[in-house]
Amino acid sequence: MGLAASQARLLTITARKSDCEYESMILSHQKIALSREMSQLSAEYDDAIQQTKLVYDYYGQTSETTPLNYSLMMTPSALNNYIPLLVTDNGGRVVLDGRLAKAARDAGIPQEGLDGLPSSDIRNAFIDSLASTGYISQNTAENIKKTTYNQMAGVGSCDLVNINTTEGTLTDLIEMVSTQYFDFSDITSFKNEFVDAVHLEERKNGTNTTAGNKITFADILNNDYMLLAETVDDGRDGLAFNNLTVDGGVTDVICGMSLWDTMFETFEGILNTGDEYTQAALAYARRMISDMVTNLGAGMDTGKAYGHSGDGTGTVGTEEGKDYHEDGKNIHDNFGDWRFVGESYDSEVNRYARDDISADVIGLNGIYNQDCTGGDKDDDSCMSMATINISSMFKAYLTYFAQYMEGIGDSSYEVNKTKTSSNLIDDMFTFTMVTDVDTSGDNLLIAAFYDTLFNQICTKGWTENDKVSDQEYLQESMKNGNMYISTLADDGYYYQGNYATHRYIKEITDEEAIAQAEAKYNREKEKLSYKENILDMKMKNLDTEISSLTTEYDTIKSVISKNIEKGFKRYQA
């Protein structure tokens, strides 16, 4: 190879070798970058496997399925017991999403809050704005505005539900319960081996007639309705009475406390305004009726005091028997009335006896057929019966309520054995009645929720943050101490605290996030390993080429040196 050619080749090799070394340097830097990425990926994975999440366990069942989020805290539901869990910032202001912030602006509430508590007009403007953005339905908005605005909800009052009430007389109360029913549809189930028949009867013009088994409270209060039960009897003297008094017999059936639960619940739902004195009056009325019914039933269980052994062997119709009857009857002196009827009757006796039952008696009332010697002892002539005047018991309940409200010692109202000897409830007493009985309980609770939220926005101020609706953002903000939770305390005020102090909020390991992080780590690690392998292969090839170029470079350089040496020798010769 000539000198010129050798020099040209040497320059080519030098250039290529420089290129290879430069490429090798770039690959080396890329490998270092991959190493940094791997270190960062490992650090992220280490952080990820420590991830936690906030869950809400309202029912205390160690549930980890309900994540803590803005909607759960700031939307009324059974999960938050219809009481807002406020998201607040470092300054204690309520953090609002876009739609809530718009409602605050539309209602004219500045971000620093108001100096005092607002009017119902401002509250209604806030509610209307929520409906306009679809945050609540229009129907919900109308129901909220129907309730009286509770200006103290969450600012000193724990009673968040502000119940609407009206005042009225007994006539007004009767109108209010005109759609409430006393339902005896399953009345036939009361029959047993001692009880032949149970049904409702209405007293009109001195005659009792069988009535339907489903009657409105208004009809009961406006008329005379009695629950009547007749005994089963096989014709033996004394058993008709025994079936009145035996456990499971007639008096047990019509004195059963479950019969009066509907009455208690209906009147308490209308008259319970939340006032402690009113609640005490309702408890008093319930207790008096319960005691009356229980004692009347228990009094009849003295059966043998009525002049009968209960097995058909007792003395009947004698003065001694009548004395025993009077002794037993004394138990019912307050509210009961029991009488003997003739000594020998045909099968029509019970109709006449039924009509003879006094509608004037308030409590337990009945007739015992003392003698079955005449006629067919297997016919109706040996049956006895007992009744409770439901209409009188309803009025007695309301009378006890009015008596307590006026002061038991001061009230003119009184319940005695009969209606004529009593001074039962009338239109002279004024009831305070809840007017929201036709609105579901949830609607009242929802109204209380938004009243409470509204009051906090007005008193604490507010700030807008659209990101707060993002669950991950909210939870991280709380864990980082950028946001807090304000909750209603026993004194009726809201106090700000850390999520860790809230009894329903738990911080748990986020298994799902950890699994996702692990999958991401393995995926990214595999990608980096693949890239590193490619770089290693390229660097190895470059190293091989550089080694080859170096060898060739040295060879050509040696050839050039020899050619130069020969040329000098030639010219020296």
Quick: pLDDT tens for 236-258.
544 555 555 555 566 667 776 56
Give the chain's mean pLDDT: 77
Mean pLDDT of 333-349: 42
* Two structure tokens written together for 400: 């006890």
The Cα 384–Cα 366 span in angstroms is 8
Which of the listed ranges 22-31, 294-303, 334-343, 429-438 does the model predict with the highest average pLDDT? 22-31
Whether the per-residue pLDDT at 104 is higher than 90: the answer is yes
Whether the predicted pLDDT of 467 surpasses 60: yes
pTM of the model: 0.52
Mean pLDDT of 319-347: 42
Better-predicted residue by pLDDT, 459 or 188: 459
Mean pLDDT value across residues 268-289: 88
Quote the pLDDT of residue 291. Answer: 81
- Average pLDDT (407-421) is 90
Q: What is the pLDDT of residue 573?
A: 54
Structural contact between residues 434 and 271, judged by C-beta atoms closer than 8 angstroms: yes
For the ranges 115-124, 127-136, 223-232, 379-388, the maximum mean pLDDT occurs at 127-136
Picking from 499, 498, 492, 458, the residue whose alpha carbon sits closest to that of residue 100 is 458
User: Parallel, antiparallel, or unpaired for β 337-341 and 364-369?
Assistant: parallel
Q: Is the pLDDT of residue 379 over 50?
A: no
Token digits of residue 423: 């001074």
Where is pLDDT greater, at 429 or 366?
429
Q: What is the pLDDT of residue 259?
A: 72
pLDDT at 234: 53
Q: Are strands 181-183 and 225-231 parallel, antiparallel or unpaired?
A: unpaired
Provide the pLDDT confidence category of residue 233 given band limits of 50, 70 and 90: low
Three-state SS at 92: coil
pLDDT of residue 437: 39
Longest dimension (CA), the chain: 180
- pLDDT value at residue 32: 84
What is the rounded CA–CA span in Å between residue 170 and residue 427?
5
Helix pair 120-132, 441-460: axis angle to 10 deg? 110
Most confident of 60-69, 81-90, 112-121: 81-90
Distance CA 209, CA 235 (A): 26
Going by pLDDT thresholds of 50, 70 and 90, the confidence category of residue 511 is low
Highest mean pLDDT pick, 3-7, 49-53, 362-366, 478-482:
478-482
Instruction: List Cβ neighbours of 500 (8 Å cut-off, separation of 6 or more).
Output: 507
Query: Residue 382 pLDDT > 60, yes or no?
Result: no
Query: CA 434 → CA 82, 147, 252, 267, 274, distances in Å?
Result: 20, 11, 34, 10, 10
Q: What is the pLDDT of residue 361?
A: 79
Q: Specify the range with the lowest mean pLDDT, choosing from 13-17, 43-47, 545-549.
A: 43-47
Q: Which of 306-315, 355-364, 435-444 has the lowest mean pLDDT?
A: 306-315
**Cα–Cα dist 91/541, whole Å:** 64
Asked if pLDDT for residue 9 goes beyond 60, the answer is yes
Q: How confident is the model at residue 303 (pLDDT cuts 50, 70, 90)?
A: very low
pLDDT attached to residue 374: 46
Structural contact between residues 332 and 305, judged by C-beta atoms closer than 8 angstroms = no
Two tokens at 427?
Answer: 């239109």
pLDDT at 406 over 70: yes
Give yes or no for residue 505 having a pLDDT over 60: yes
Specify the higher pLDDT residue, 369 or 182.
182
What is the Cβ-side half-sphere exposure of residue 329, based on CA atoms within 13 angstroms?
A: 17
Mean pLDDT of 377-404: 79
| pLDDT at residue number 396 | 93
Per-residue pLDDT band at 323 (split at 50, 70, 90): very low
pLDDT score at 431: 95
Q: Which amino acid is at 379?
A: D
Amino acid 261 reads D
pLDDT class of 342 with cuts at 50, 70, 90:
very low
Mean pLDDT confidence for 510-534: 77
pLDDT for 250 equals: 65
Q: What's the mean pLDDT in 312-321?
A: 39
Least confident of 1-10, 281-290, 434-443, 518-527: 434-443
Q: Which of 146-155, 370-379, 383-392 bottoms out in mean pLDDT, i.e. has the lowest?
A: 370-379
